[in-house]
Amino acid sequence: GENVEQHPSTLSVQEGDSAVIKCTYSDSASNYFPWYKQELGKGPQLIIDIRSNVGEKKDQRIAVTLNKTAKHFSLHITETQPEDSAVYFCAASALYGNNRLAFGKGNQVVVIP
């Protein structure tokens, strides 16, 4: 099955700086890559996703890039703010049927004011 690796496990950044989280996946059949943000005591919230037919997608301060050849994708957060502090999970799946997600282990992002 799909195996998703996520690095680093913890990331501290100064407010206003950029944060980058990287994930790799193993199954070349995967074609859908969502990113979830989870705040303490809450459910994961989908913040951005990318499909394999594009290499980059941007939504305001958040962007995701995908390299299908290398099987890795990254989340970029620019101009970080304290409210960006959370755990971020990447995931991968094949976009058909039940859309069974394989999650990375998560990354704790701490934005220092």
Partner 1 sequence: DAMVIQNPRYQVTQFGKPVTLSCSQTLNHNVMYWYQQKSSQAPKLLFHYYDKDFNNEADTPDNFQSRRPNTSFCFLDIRSPGLGDAAMYLCATSSSNGHNEQFFGPGTRLTVL
Residue 58 lies near partner 1 (rule: CB under 8 A): no
Q: How far apart are CA 34 and CA 87, in angstroms?
A: 14
Least Å distance between CB 37 and partner 1? 11
> Which of residues 25, 34, 66, 80 is near partner 1 by CB under 8 A?
34
What is the Cα–Cα distance from 32 to 112, expressed in whole angstroms? 32
Stretch that binds partner 1, among 29-37, 56-64, 67-75, 76-84 (CB under 8 A): 29-37
CA within 13 Å, CB half, 67: 10
Q: Are 23 and 4 in contact (CB under 8 A)?
A: yes
Interface residues toward partner 1, by CB under 8 A: 32, 34, 36, 41-46, 49, 89, 93, 95-101, 103-106
